Structure 1
Amino acid sequence: MIPLHELSFFILAALILVISPGPNMIYLISKSITQGKKSGFISLTGVVCGFLFHIIMVSFGLTAVLLAVPFAYTILKTLGTIYLLYLAYQAIKPNSKNIFDVDKNTSYDSPKKLFTVGFLTNVLNPKVAVFYLSFFPQFIKPEYGSVLTQSLELGVVQVLVSFSVNFLIVLTASRVALFFSNNPAWIKVQKWFMASVLTYLAIRMAFSKAK
C-alpha cells in the first residue's frame, strides 16, 4: 500500500490535472450545456469507462516494464516532465480557446451515442495514456508492495478524483460558463494558476529519484 502522505500528493496532482482543460472536459461541458445534465451524466459514464480501460492496460504494462527494464523509470520520468510542461504551456499560450465557448446549434444525441463518444474520446486520447505511463511511476516504489497493486490503487484514486470533479462540472456547466463569460479576467487567473501548479509538478518530477 502507498503511504498516506504520498497518496495525498497524488490526489492533489490528479485534481490539478483533471481540471486542466482537455478533450474530456470540453466534451462534457458541451453536452451538458447543449443537451442538459442527463446527457452530461451519460457522457461522463462513458468517459469513466474509458479511464478504467486505460488503467487496466497501463497497470499490467507498468508491471512488466518496470520489472524488466531498470532505466525505464528515468525514461518515464522524462516523458512526464515534458508532458506537464506541455500542459502548462497549453494553459497560457496566446489565443488559447475558452472551453466554455461551445456551439449551441448541435443536434441531440441518443444515450448510446453519448456513452460511446464519451468512451472513445477518452480511450483514443493519447494524453491519458501518457499521463498514466509517465506519472504513476513517480509514486510506485518496490518497498510499498506489488507494483501491479500500487498501480491499480493509483488508478482507482485517479478515477474517483476525476469522476467527482467532472460530476460537479456537469452539474454546474451552464452557471460556470455564464460566470466566465461575465468575468473574463478570471479566465486569465485560472490559466496562470494552472500553469504555475503544472510547472511545479514538472520540476518536482524532474528531480525525483527512484528508490
Structure 2
Amino acid sequence: MQLSLWLALAGAGVLVSFTPGAGAINTMNNSLTSGFRRTIWGILGQQAALVIHVVIVALGVGVLVASSPLAFNVIRYTGAAYLVYLGIRQFLSKPVENQDDDAALANEPAGAMFKRGFWVNLLNPKAIVFFLAFMPQFIHPEQPLLPQYVVLTATVVVIDILVMWFFFALAARSFQRFTRNARGQTVLSRIFGLLFVAVGILLALIH
C-alpha cells in the first residue's frame, strides 16, 4: 500500500474511531467501573469483532447482509436488544463500597469484559455496511488482496485501540471522583445505562 493511500486510511480510521457510539460508551463505562488499565480487555473484544466485520466484507458475505433486509434487521434488532439489556443492567447495578483506586474498583473478569465488547461491536450491522463503503477505497483489486487487507485491518485496529484507551477510557477517569461514594456511582450507572438504551433504540429505529 502506497504511503499516501495509507495516510488517507489512517486519517479515515481516526475520524471513525473518534465518532461516539456503543463502543465508546462501553469503553468509558469499563474505565469507570473496572479501572483504566483493565479497560483494555473490553477494547480487545471490540477489536475482535471489528476483524470479523472486515473478514465478512472481504469474503463478500457483507454484500449479502447489506442487500438482505431480513438478515440486516435480524442483526440490527438483536444488537439493539443487547444494548438495551446492557443499559438496564447498568442502570440497576448496585454501588460498590470503598472505591479508593483502580484496585478497589469492581473486579469484573477480563473474559466477561472481552465478551461484552465483542458482542457490542459484532451486533452492529451498520458496521458491515460502513466497511462495504469504506474498504473498497483502499483496496486495489489488481494487486494481491491479502497483504492489503492485513495492512488495512492492522491500521484500523491499532488506531481504534489507541483512541478507545487513550481518549475515551482516559477521559472517563476525570469522572472517577464521582465513584468514591454510593450516590456518585448510582448517578453514573444511570447515566451510562440510559446511554446504552438510547444507542440501542437509535440502532433499532434509524435505517
For the superposition of Structure 1 and Structure 2, which TM-score range results when normalised by the shorter chain? Answer: 0.5 to 0.7
CA offset at residue 50 of structure 1? 5.6
2:204: which partner in 1?
Answer: 206
What secondary structure, in the 3-state scheme, does the structure 1 residue paired with 2:123 have? helix
Matched, 1:78 2:67: no
Contact map agreement 1:48 1:163 (CA 8 A) in 2? yes
Give the match for residue 66 of structure 1.
62
Cα displacement (A) at 1:46 = 7.0
- What is the CA-CA distance between 1:135 and the residue it aligns to? 2.4
**CA positional deviation for 1:89:** 0.8
Distance in 2, Cα, partners of 1:99 & 1:83:
30
**Aligned equivalent of 1:112:** none
Counterparts of 1:148 and 1:126, CA distance in 2: 31
In the alignment, the residues of structure 1 paired with residue 96 and residue 137 of structure 2 have an alpha-carbon distance, to the nearest angstrom, of: 38
With 57-66 and 44-53 compared, the bigger mean Cα shift is at 44-53
Q: Which amino acid aligns with 2:186?
A: K
Question: 2:120 matched to which residue of 1?
Answer: 131
Residues 135, 193 of structure 1: CA spacing in aligned structure 2 closer, same or farther, 3 A cutoff?
A: same
Aligned partner (choices 143, 161, 164) of residue 162 of structure 1: 164
Asked whether the equivalents of residues 30 and 39 of structure 2 are also in contact (C-alpha less than 8 Å), the reply is: no
- What is the Cα deviation at residue 100 of structure 1? 4.1
Q: CA deviation at 1:12?
A: 4.5
- Matched residues in 2 for 1:139 and 1:207: separation? 17
Give the 3 Å change call, closer, same or farther, for CA 130–98 of structure 1 in structure 2: farther
Report whether the alignment pairs 1:55 with 2:59. no
Map of 1:180 onto structure 2: 179
Query: Aligned equivalents of 2:52 and 2:98: distance in 1?
Result: 29
CA contact (8 A) 1:62 1:148 kept: no
- State the TM-score, normalizing by the size of structure 2: 0.58
Partner of 1:113: none
Separation in 2, partners of 1:137, 1:155: 17
Please give the alpha-carbon distance, in whole angstroms, between the structure 2 residues aligned to 1:141 and 1:104: 38
Cα separation, 2, equivalents of 1:97 and 1:146 = 43
Q: Which moved more, 1:48-57 or 1:192-201?
A: 48-57
Seen in structure 2, the aligned counterparts of structure 1 residues 191 and 94 have a Cα distance that, compared at 3 Å, is closer
The answer to whether the 8 A contact 2:29-2:192 is kept is yes
Specify whether residues 55 and 76 from structure 1 end up closer, same or farther in structure 2 by C-alpha distance, changes over 3 A only.
Answer: same
Q: Unaligned 5+ residue runs, structure 2?
A: 1-8, 139-151
Query: Residue 188 of structure 2 aligns to a residue in which SS?
Result: helix
Question: d(CA) in 2 for partners of 1:147 and 1:96?
Answer: 47
1:56, CA displacement in angstroms? 2.2
Q: In structure 1, what residue type is equivalent to 2:198?
A: Y
Change in CA separation of 1:76 and 1:154 when aligned onto 2, cut-off 3 Å: farther
Identity of aligned residues (%): 14
Alpha carbons 2:43, 2:161 under 8 Å: kept:
yes
Could you tell me how far 1:53 is from its partner in structure 2? 4.1
Q: Distance in 1 between matches of 2:125 and 2:98?
A: 27
Other-structure match for 2:87:
88
RMSD: 4.7
One-letter amino acid matched to 1:60: V
